[in-house]
A = this chain, B = another copy of it.
Amino acid sequence: MSSKPEPVTSEPEPRWLTPAERAGWLSLAGILIRLPGALDSQLQRDAGMNTFEYFVLSGLSMAPKHTLRMTELAAFVSGSPSRLSHVVKRLEQRGWVRRDLDPQDARCTNAVLTEAGWDKVVASAPGHVEAVRHLVIDALTSGQIRQLHEIGERILGRVAPDEPCTAYRPATHETTPTTHPAEASTRQTEPSTRQAKSTAHQTKPTTRQAASTHQTQPATPRSKKVPRS
């Protein structure tokens, strides 16, 4: 980056990839091309949504009151504001998400998972996890899974250098202390298998699932939540 000889011609002869580097890159490129489609097709077939929509629902299902500002949600799923807006509108039309104006700050929109949305995530999670397991996890040794994490973090550090490239970390500080009514099947943030198990279909699923399906961004819901006051 700093001391390129820059010969007489205008181009400084780029550093081509070695065979080993090429092999690594080609494998990664293959994954980039085919894996999303494979995951999408499972979700599309079994749940009528794509992976990104699933991520959004899943992200909301993990959020404190099943609620997240559009911006937080966008960061969480690594989507542009525009994309989020379109997607949430679609999800709202299907009745899985509701949009409320934030009473604190009228500029902000809060996306809220509806009960139907919650049920949808809970119902879709097992199939998605199964797909992830089948296509990725079960193909690898545990050492490779560790390596995958390390490799992924390093690449993400390059792709989004400005962002805290720590992997998903569960929202430890609950904002919904009164969380598990164990009845309404709405608003739970932590699995709590015993209580919820009997409630609807799976209860553990979503929370775990959400985590497992989601993306690296921590969403940092706490950071800007109370900027004023």
Contact = CB atoms under 8 A, between A and B. Distances in A.
A30 B216 contact: yes
Contact of A154 (B24, B33, B139): B139
A69 interface: no
Contact of A148 (B27, B35, B125, B208): B27
A118 B138 CA distance: 42
Contact of A16 (B150, B151, B158, B209): B209
Copies in the complex: 2
Nearest to A33: B78
A27 B151 contact: yes
A171 interface: no
B155 A139 contact: yes
Interface string A186-198: 0000000000000
Interface residues of A, number: 72
Given A32-B35, A156-B34, A159-B34, A17 B137 contact: yes
A144 B147 contact: yes
Contacts of A154: 139-140, 144
A14 B151 contact: no
A150 to B, nearest CB: 7
A208 B158 contact: no
Interface in A3-51: 11, 13-17, 20-36, 38
B31 A155 contact: yes
Contacts of A22: 168, 208, 211-212
